[in-house]
Amino acid sequence: MPDVAALPLIGASALRARAAARVLRTLPTDVKDGALAAMADALVERVDEILAANALDVNAARADGTPESTVDRLRLDAGRVAGVAEALRTLIALPDPVGDVVRGSRLPNGLELRQVRVPLGVVGIVYEARPNVTVDAAGLCLKSGNAALLRGSASAHRTNTVLVAVMTEALSKAGLPEGSIELLPADRASVGELLGARGFVDVVIPRGGGSLIQRVVNEAKVPVIETGEGNCHVYVDASADPATAEAVVLNSKTHRVSVCNSAETLLVHRDVPFLPRLLAALADAGVTLHGDEAARAAVDGVLPATDEDWATEYLSMDMAVRVVDDLPAALDHIARWSTGHTEAIVADSASAIAAFTAGVDSAAVMVNASTRFTDGGEFGFGAEIGISTQKLHARGPLGLPELTSTTYVVTGNGHVR
Ligand SMILES: NC(=O)C1=CN([C@@H]2O[C@H](COP(=O)(O)OP(=O)(O)OC[C@H]3O[C@@H](n4cnc5c(N)ncnc54)[C@H](OP(=O)(O)O)[C@@H]3O)[C@@H](O)[C@H]2O)C=CC1
Ligand SMILES: N[C@@H](CCC(=O)OP(=O)(O)O)C(=O)O
C-alpha cells in the first residue's frame, strides 16, 4: 500500500472508503435497500437546504458567464430533487448484482466451480457539474456494495457538499459505515491524487470531455473505465420513412442539447427526397446547420461545414449535415469522426439496418430510435455511473452489474491436486 502522506487531499477519505468497502461488500440486500430509502427520504425532507446551496452555485456560474445550457445541467428545483430521490428508489427495485452466479459447473474431479459477482471495492468518480450524478453515483455504488469517492465539478461543489452531507447522515442512521460516500475536494489536484492512488482506489471512472480524458490517459496509475465525448451521428438511409426520420433527427438533436448522447452530425443518403423538408424542420426548431455543398443547395441559410464541424461535439443547437453517396460512405464518415458513443440509422431496409449495425463500432447503435436513448435510466438500469466509450471492462451505460468484478468460489471435499 502506498504512503497515505502522498495523498494530502484525498488520503483521509480514501482510507475511510477502503475500510467502509470491506463492510459494504458483505451487506445483505435489504440493508443496502433500507439505506437507499433513507437517503431518498432525507433528500426530499431537506430539499430547502439543497436548493439554497444550489442557488449559490447557479448564481456563481451565471456570474462567470456560463452558458444557460450548461447552467441548466447544474440547476436543481424541487421537482428535480424529487426525481433524483426517485432514481434512488428505482435502484431499490433492481436486483442486487452481488452474489449473482455468472457461471457455474461441476468439474470432472467433483469440484464445484462458481463465478460470483463481487463489488469492485473503492470506486472514484470524476464528473461534470450535474448534481444528480452525485446522487446517482452514490446510489449505484452503494447498491453494488462499493464505497464511492466522489470528485464532482468545482462549479457544483456547494450543492454536492450538502447532498453528500444529507446522504451520509441518512446512511449513518441506517447503520452503514462512515466512508461509504466521500466527497473529495473540488480542485484539479485531487483528480491527480485519485489517478495515482494505487492500493487505495480500485477503479476511477472519469465522466467528462477531452481535457479530463487526456489527463486520465496520461496520468492514471489506477485502473480506469473511460467515458467519453459524444460526437453522435444520425444516418438517414434512402429507405427511410420521412416522418420517422424527422422525429428521430429532431429528438436526437434538440431534446437536450448539452448532453453527450445528443446528435451532432446528420448524414443523409443522396437519394433521400425529403432532405429539404428535413433540414427546414431542423431550422424551424432553431438549429443552426453547418453543411456540405449538397446540404447548402437543399435549403437556404446553411453555413459551410469544414472538417472542424465533423469533429465537433457542439453541445448546442448546431448540427453538421453531410450528404453521402451511399451507406458505406456514411460508415466511412462515422469511422473517421465518431467518438464511439452512439450512432443511429433511420431506415426501412433490413439489409441497410444490418449493414449499419454490423459496420458501426460504437457503444450503442440505435435503429429507428433517437440517440438520446443511450442512458442507464432509459435502458432500465435505474441510473448510470457514466457511458463507457472504451471496450474494457464495460461499454455503454454503466449500471449495477458493471460496478462489480467476479470471484471464483471453488468448493471441494478435501480435494488436492
Ligand atoms: N460518456 C459519458 O458518460 C459522459 C460524457 N460527458 C462528456 O463531457 C463533456 C461535457 O461535460 P463538461 O462538464 O464540460 O466536462 P468537463 O470535462 O469540463 O468536466 C467534467 C469533470 O472533469 C473535471 N476536469 C475537466 N478537465 C480536467 C482536467 N484537465 N484535470 C482534472 N479534472 C478535469 C472537471 O472539473 P472542474 O470542475 O475542475 O472543471 C469536472 O469535474 C462532453 O464532452 C460530454 O459528452 C459528460 C458526462 C458523461
Ligand atoms: N444519460 C444522460 C446523458 C449522459 C450524461 O450524463 O451526459 P452529460 O450531460 O454530458 O453529463 C441523459 O440521457 O440525459
Ligand 1 centre to CA of 329 (Å) is 32
**Residue 302 DSSP SS3:** coil
What is the predicted pLDDT for the residue at 382? 86
Distance between CA atoms of residues 371 and 343, nearest Å: 7
Tell me the average pLDDT across 39-66.
Answer: 98
Q: Of how many residues is the chain composed?
A: 417
Q: Ligand 2 atom closest to Cα of 376?
A: 1
Residue nearest to atom 12 of ligand 2 (CA): 375
Distance between CA atoms of residues 247 and 251, nearest Å: 6
Q: What is the DSSP letter of 306?
A: -
Tell me the average pLDDT across 135-158.
Answer: 98
What is the predicted pLDDT for the residue at 383? 86
| Mutation to probe ligand 2, out of 70, 227, 259, 378 (largest number of atoms < 8 A from CB) | 259
Ligand 2 centre to CA of 313 (Å) is 13
What is the predicted pLDDT for the residue at 4? 87
Ligand nearest the Cα of residue 371 is 2
Is the interface score ipTM higher than 0.90? Answer: yes
Evaluate if residue 2 carries a pLDDT over 80.
no
Residue nearest to atom 9 of ligand 2 (CA): 259
Grid coordinates in use for 302?
A: 446553411
Ligand 1 centre to CA of 208 (Å) is 3
Ligand 2 centre to CA of 85 (Å) is 17
% of residues, the chain, pLDDT over 70: 100
Cis peptide before 290 (omega within 30 of 0): no
What is the predicted pLDDT for the residue at 224? 96
What is the predicted pLDDT for the residue at 258? 87
What is the predicted pLDDT for the residue at 23? 98
Evaluate if residue 1 carries a pLDDT over 80.
no
Distance between CA atoms of residues 48 and 99, nearest Å: 39
pLDDT band at 262 (very low <50, low <70, confident <90, very high): very high
Indicate the domain borders of the chain.
4-227+398-411, 232-373
H and E: helices and strands count for the chain: 15, 16
- Look up the CATH superfamily of 4-227+398-411: Aldehyde Dehydrogenase; Chain A, domain 1 (3.40.605.10)
**Which residues sit with their C-beta closer than 6 Å to ligand 1?**
126-129, 152-155, 188, 191, 207-209, 211-212, 215, 227-230, 260, 313, 386-387, 389
Tell me the average pLDDT across 242-253.
Answer: 98
- Cβ neighbours of 80 (radius 10 Å): 16
Residue nearest to atom 1 of ligand 2 (CA): 375
Tell me the average pLDDT across 307-336.
Answer: 97
Per CATH, 4-227+398-411 and 232-373 having the same topology is answered no
Task: State the architecture of 232-373 in CATH terms.
Answer: 3-Layer(aba) Sandwich (3.40)
**Taking CA 375 as the corner, what is the angle to CA 369 and CA 378, rounded to the nearest 5 degrees?**
70
Distance between CA atoms of residues 288 and 320, nearest Å: 9
Q: Which of 225-229, 306-310, 318-322, 399-403 has the lowest mean pLDDT?
A: 225-229
Residue nearest to atom 26 of ligand 1 (CA): 212
- Per-residue pLDDT tens for 101-143? 999 999 999 999 999 999 999 999 999 999 999 999 999 999 9
Ligand 1 centre to CA of 121 (Å) is 24
Ligand 2 centre to CA of 133 (Å) is 9
Distance between CA atoms of residues 203 and 210, nearest Å: 19
Contact 22, 146 (CB under 8 A): no
Q: Ligand 2 atom closest to Cα of 378?
A: 13
What is the predicted pLDDT for the residue at 339? 97
Evaluate if residue 321 carries a pLDDT over 90.
yes
Q: Please compute Rg for the chain using Cα positions.
A: 23
pLDDT band at 364 (very low <50, low <70, confident <90, very high): very high
